[in-house]
């Protein structure tokens, strides 16, 4: 597993679909995920430190987890099949580990709220955009493009 962070969330200029881009700590590997507008908003709220007056769905889920005496240990993007990503929410409740199947976008929104790490399985990285060790000018240009992305770059 590779630890990742949310690089950017916004709207893809070509498809006009919401997207979240995960990057490893060295920003050598990237995983772009198409997500729904509600999940993009839920992630962006945390990324931009927006204060909300009432709990949203992911806040409710985190509050419920905590009220049940558990905590979010991490989330893991576990698989990709037919261009669909799969994830697990991993909770700790005392000595017990719980693994719950979920959409990656929901898992990311929850992990950001809980301050929990985000991991991607190696087999997923191999199918996602992973910059190879050998220099490819087109991929290097894409990596540089991703490095300087900000949420404002996704505005139509």
Q: pLDDT 10s digit of each residue in the chain, 156 long? A: 999 999 999 888 888 889 999 999 988 888 999 999 999 999 999 999 898 899 999 999 999 999 999 999 999 999 999 889 999 999 999 999 999 999 999 999 999 999 999 999 999 988 886 454 455 666 666 666 666 776 666 655
Give the number of domains in the chain. 1
Domain presence at residue 155: no
Assess if residue 98 is contained within a domain: yes
CA–CA separation, 156 and 150 (whole Å): 13
In a domain, 107, yes or no: yes
Give the span between the Cα atoms of 36 and 28, in whole angstroms.
Answer: 26
pLDDT computed for residue 28 by the predictor: 84
pLDDT of residue 130: 47
Instruction: Give the residue among 2, 156, 152, 153 at the shortest CA–CA distance from 76.
Output: 2
Q: Is residue 154 part of a domain?
A: no
In a domain, residue 156? The reply is no
For residue 124, is it within any domain? yes
Across 37-63, b (16+ Cβ under 10 Å) vs e yields: eebbebbbbbbeeeeeeeeeebbebbe
Residue span of the structural domain in which 35 resides: 2-149
For residue 34, the surrounding DSSP H or E stretch is strand 30-34
The pLDDT assigned to 139 comes to 61
pLDDT at 138: 65
CATH of the domain at 6: 3.10.690.10
């Amino acid at each position: 597993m590779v630890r990742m962070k949310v690089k950017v969330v916004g709207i893809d200029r070509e498809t006009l679909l919401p997207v979240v881009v995960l990057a490893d700590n060295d920003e050598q590997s990237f995983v772009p995920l198409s997500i729904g507008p509600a999940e993009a908003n839920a992630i962006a709220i945390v990324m931009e430190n927006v204060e909300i007056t009432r709990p949203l769905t992911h806040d409710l889920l985190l509050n419920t987890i905590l009220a049940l005496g558990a905590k979010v240990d991490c989330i893991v993007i576990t698989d990709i099949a037919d261009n669909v990503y799969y994830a697990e929410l991993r909770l700790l409740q005392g000595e017990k580990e719980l693994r719950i199947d979920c959409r990656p976008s929901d898992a990311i929104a929850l992990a950001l709220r809980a301050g929990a790490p985000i991991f991607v399985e190696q087999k997923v990285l191999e199918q996602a955009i992973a910059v190879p060790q050998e220099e490819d000018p087109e991929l290097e240009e894409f990596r540089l493009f991703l490095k300087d992305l900000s949420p404002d770059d996704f505005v139509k």
